[in-house]
Structures are given as structure tokens and as C-alpha cells.
Amino acid sequence: MMIRGVRGATTVDRNESEEIIARSLELMEDVVSSNHIKAEDVVSVYFTVTNDIDDTFPAKCLRGMDGWTYVPVMCMREIPVTGSLPKCIRVMVTVQTDMEQKQVKHIYHYDAKQLRPDLKS
């Protein structure tokens, strides 16, 4: 087994709690299903948000996922780079897995697809 990082990102249209949690949950469900991740294999989950998202923590979405109660989660601010994608939520899931690095499926939704056009999700 190795520890691998699985990346993902999404965007919201509005800085509103419901949408932040819904888009974060949608992203996490896709990351988990695409990579066959089980909560007990997760080392940690880190969410970052751009400065224009502050109505709630995206990590709250994990409360709606069965079995994720004890997974360590943290939310942080993304560095404010001029011209960067606004209203963006990023996630890094570190997981124990037998997958090779090239087998990991990184997931990008909505406007965040432009962050990694080389990865099709």
C-alpha cells in the first residue's frame, strides 16, 4: 500500500452555505466513487477555498457521507493569486491505496475544469 493524493476542485455560483456544501458533496462523492475510496483508508482531507467563499466550511459536506465521521478534515484559504479562478473549492484527499499514481482519477467540476484541461473528468 502507498499513500496517494487525490485532487479535485469545483466552483460555486454564489457564496451561500447550501451551494457550498452541495457542490463540495458532489465533488467528494465523485472523487470517492471514481477512485474506489473507503473512508477507513483515508488519511486526511484538506479543503481550500478562495477568498470570496466564507459562508460555511466545505468540509461540512462530509457529515452527509456515511462512514466519514472519524476522517480528519481541515479547511484553509487558497493563496490569493491575481487572476486566479474565483469562487473555487479545492480538495486533497490522502488515501492508502494500491493504485499506481497514473491510475488516480483527479476530479474537476464546473469552471474548475479549466484548472487541469489535461485531465478529463
Question: Is residue 23 annotated as part of the catalytic site, yes or no?
Answer: no
Q: Looking at 4, 23, 61, 75, which residue is catalytic?
A: 75
| Interior angle at CA 108, CA 55 and CA 20, nearest 5 | 15
* Side chain identity at residue 60, one-letter code: K
Q: Looking at 14, 63, 70, 100, which residue is catalytic?
A: 63
Question: Is residue 90 annotated as part of the catalytic site, yes or no?
Answer: yes
Q: Looking at 4, 7, 23, 29, which residue is catalytic?
A: 7
Question: Is residue 4 annotated as part of the catalytic site, yes or no?
Answer: no
Residue 65 makes CB contacts below 8 A (sequence gap 6+) with 25, 28, 29, 32, 39
Q: Looking at 4, 23, 61, 108, which residue is catalytic?
A: 108
Q: Looking at 78, 88, 100, 110, which residue is catalytic?
A: 78
Question: Is residue 116 annotated as part of the catalytic site, yes or no?
Answer: yes
Q: CA 80, CA 56: separation in Å to the nearest integer?
A: 19
Q: Looking at 29, 46, 110, 116, which residue is catalytic?
A: 116
Catalytic residue annotation: 7, 63, 75, 78, 90, 108, 116
